[in-house]
Amino acid sequence: MAKIIHEREKCVGCGFCASICPEHWEMSDDGKSTLKGSKKVNDHYEKEVEDVGCNEEAAKHCPVNAIHIE
């Protein structure tokens, strides 16, 4: 299992993650991205997945480095 970590407070709302990986990311009403199906853990959001898939591209293209894969 891999873990996707989203530091949402860093998000600037560029939309790259949602356009690159729409099955896992969406833009919210506040202009920031949301990791679909994630849970809040301390100051970030997490989601476990079997296959990282397009999330690696989303993390690579995030201009503020708010997405991490473990």
Total domains, the chain: 1
| CA–CA dist 25, 20 (Å, integer) | 9
Range of the domain at 48: 2-69
Digit-coded pLDDT (tens) for 10-63: 999 999 999 999 999 999 999 999 999 999 999 999 999 999 999 999 999 999
With 0.85 as the threshold, say if the pTM is over it.
yes
- Alpha-carbon Rg of the chain, whole angstroms? 11
- Give the CATH number, domain containing residue 46: 3.30.70.20
